[in-house]
Amino acid sequence: MMKLVRLLAIGLTAITAPAGADTTLSLAFELDDTDSVTSVIYDCGDGDAFTVQYVNAGANALALMEVGDEDRVFVNVVAASGARYVSGALVWWSKGDMATLENELSDGSTRTCQTQ
């Protein structure tokens, strides 16, 4: 049975829109019985827990999370071990109960996190 699931709404400033106008983007995937959307709560030791939504829908594997004050969409890329997701210069790498968030443009910016 196919289910239509709305996954994410991201506030974006449209290039063609007047200055200051906000638009939203909504992604929808049809999920069947083999697809999944899973929420996992992580703590990076700073007392600020956050949720990552993992979307596995056919060829699409995404991790959705808030980084700073921004909603970010991370796309799964090839990894030798674990699951590696990329959003711009940010890399989210998860394996088992552990995960890291790294900004590849900033040395020493790696955060190590664990599921709650």
For position 100, which CATH number holds? Answer: 2.40.128.200
Mean pLDDT across 70-80: 94
> For tokens 């040395």, what's the residue?
107
User: For residue 97, is it within any domain?
Assistant: yes
Q: What is the extent of the structural domain holding 109?
A: 34-115
User: For residue 17, is it within any domain?
Assistant: no
**Residues β-bridged to residue 76:** 85
Please give the share of the chain, as a percent, with pLDDT higher than 70. 82
Q: CB within 8 A of 83, min separation 6: which ones?
A: 61, 63, 76, 93, 94, 95
User: For residue 19, is it within any domain?
Assistant: no
User: For residue 1, is it within any domain?
Assistant: no
User: For residue 3, is it within any domain?
Assistant: no
Reported in sequence order, the residue ranges of the chain that DSSP labels E, i.e. its strands, are 3-13, 22-31, 36-43, 50-57, 60-67, 70-77, 83-87, 90-95, 98-103, 111-115
pTM higher than 0.95, yes or no?
Answer: no
The 10s digit of each residue's pLDDT in 28-61 is 888 899 999 999 999 998 888 999 999 999 999 9
Q: Are 91 and 78 in contact (CB under 8 A)?
A: no
Give phi and psi for 66, each to the nearest 5.
-95, 130
Task: Count the domains in the chain.
Answer: 1
Mean pLDDT across 89-93: 96
Mean pLDDT of the chain: 84
pLDDT band with cut points at 50, 70 and 90 for residue 14: very low
User: For residue 75, is it within any domain?
Assistant: yes
